[in-house]
């Protein structure tokens, strides 16, 4: 295997790197944005099978969550999960390898874009079904509570998921049993192709916490520091056995719902308005103003990341696809199969 297809850091080391400072957090956000752009191009070119859902514009939310949690905590996420996977520590090799259907991927290349997993940093297999992570996160929290562990579970899902039964059932159960779980709703304005005001009677979704008698918090999902602060607050509360918290992150999906969606349903000027609050733009400006980075260093980070990801993709493209038998690698039973 070529050197470019060998990870120099483990997922845990990459996770720990975020704690070193804002520069490392910015680098991770650039990495997420770059990989999403490359993934979009590969799907558009027909180089990858299936579909994909990008988190462009939501990088601050992913990194902020990763900063606030421990590797021993558990996270459930959606099909829009490349960003949280990378933020939590999964390597570009594992993520891109999986998306491109190569056996170096995190699930041997058989899960694809929507099914990423790395238990070493607490990322449970991601879900293609809307809201499916809510009850699983509640279940993980119940396990932590039963075992007397101080770990917490966190479920990430979009605004549309708050209208389904699993959301309400999970929050209700978590509230009654005071489970150590955090429910994060990334309100990116659109549930698939429908704007929130056409599907939901309220646009401030954190208010739904009141019906379960749990804290509801709203946060600027474009601000890494703000996201980290509220998630850490909720995690500390959960570790004190005080129960769940509902967090609504106000953010925006710069891309369409999936690779085939050009988002023609957006009102004129809406995307451009949100792009003024691009989390990468905001963080780069902050770091330059504070003297942490120069403008030239920002450009260097961006360019070097593009080069490394391009080199990685070229190496992955040269690898063969997994054998059909790979689909059974992580399937097991307690009974003898004849």
Quick check: is 241 in a domain? yes
Pick the range with the lowest mean pLDDT from 38-47, 55-64, 207-216. Answer: 38-47
Distances (CA, A) of 225 to 18, 55, 193, 228: 12, 19, 30, 5
User: Is residue 140 scored above 60 in pLDDT?
Assistant: yes
Residue 244, domain extent: 3-318
Quick check: is 98 in a domain? yes
Quick check: is 328 in a domain? no
At 261 the pLDDT is: 82
Question: For the domain that residue 264 is a member of, what is the CATH number?
Answer: 3.40.50.970
Quick check: is 47 in a domain? yes
Which pLDDT band, with edges at 50, 70 and 90, does 1 fall under?
very low
Mean pLDDT score, 167-171? 98
Cβ contact 228:18 at 8 Å: no
Domain count, the chain: 1
Q: What is the mean pLDDT of the chain?
A: 93
List pLDDT tens digits, range 225-269: 999 999 999 999 999 999 999 999 999 999 988 888 888 999 999
Quick check: is 336 in a domain? no
- Whole-model pTM? 0.94
Quick check: is 202 in a domain? yes
List pLDDT tens digits, range 273-315: 999 999 999 999 999 999 999 999 999 999 999 999 999 999 9
Quick check: is 329 in a domain? no
Mean pLDDT score, 145-170? 97
At 338 the pLDDT is: 59
Quick check: is 327 in a domain? no
Which pLDDT band, with edges at 50, 70 and 90, does 193 fall under?
confident
Q: What whole-number distance in Å separates Cα of residue 178 and Cα of residue 297?
A: 46
User: Is residue 49 scored above 50 in pLDDT?
Assistant: yes
User: Is residue 179 scored above 70 in pLDDT?
Assistant: yes
């Amino acid at each position: 295997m070529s050197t470019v297809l060998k990870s120099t850091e483990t997922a845990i080391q990459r996770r720990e790197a975020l704690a070193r400072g804002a520069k490392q957090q910015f680098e991770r956000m650039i990495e997420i944005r770059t990989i999403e752009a490359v993934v979009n191009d590969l799907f558009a070119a027909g180089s990858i099978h299936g579909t994909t859902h990008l988190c462009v514009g939501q990088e601050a939310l992913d990194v902020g969550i990763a900063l606030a949690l421990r590797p021993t905590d558990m996270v459930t996420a959606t099909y829009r999960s490349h960003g949280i996977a990378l933020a939590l520590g999964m390597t570009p090799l594992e993520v891109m390898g999986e998306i491109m259907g190569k056996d170096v991927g995190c699930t041997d290349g058989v899960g694809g874009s929507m099914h990423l997993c790395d238990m070493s940093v607490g990322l449970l297999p991601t879900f293609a079904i809307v809201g499916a992570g809510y009850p699983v996160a509640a279940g993980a929290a119940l396990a932590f509570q039963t075992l007397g562990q101080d770990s917490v579970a966190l479920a990430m899902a979009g605004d549309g998921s708050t209208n389904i039964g699993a959301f309400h059932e999970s929050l209700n159960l978590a509230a009654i049993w005071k489970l150590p779980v955090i429910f994060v709703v990334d309100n990116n304005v659109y549930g698939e192709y429908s704007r929130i005001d056409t599907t939901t009677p309220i646009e401030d979704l954190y208010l739904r916490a009141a019906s379960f008698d749990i804290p509801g918090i709203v946060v600027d999902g474009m601000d890494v520091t703000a996201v980290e602060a509220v998630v850490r607050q909720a995690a500390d509360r959960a570790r004190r056995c005080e129960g769940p918290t509902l967090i609504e992150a106000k953010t925006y999906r710069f891309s369409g719902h999936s690779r085939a969606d050009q988002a023609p349903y957006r009102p004129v000027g809406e995307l451009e308005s949100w792009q003024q609050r691009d989390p990468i733009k905001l963080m780069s400006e902050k770091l330059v103003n504070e003297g942490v980075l120069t403008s030239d260093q920002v450009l260097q980070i961006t360019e070097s990341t593009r080069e490394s990801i391009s080199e990685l993709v070229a190496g992955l493209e040269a690898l063969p696809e997994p054998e059909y038998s790979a689909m059974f690698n992580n399937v097991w039973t307690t009974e003898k199969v004849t």
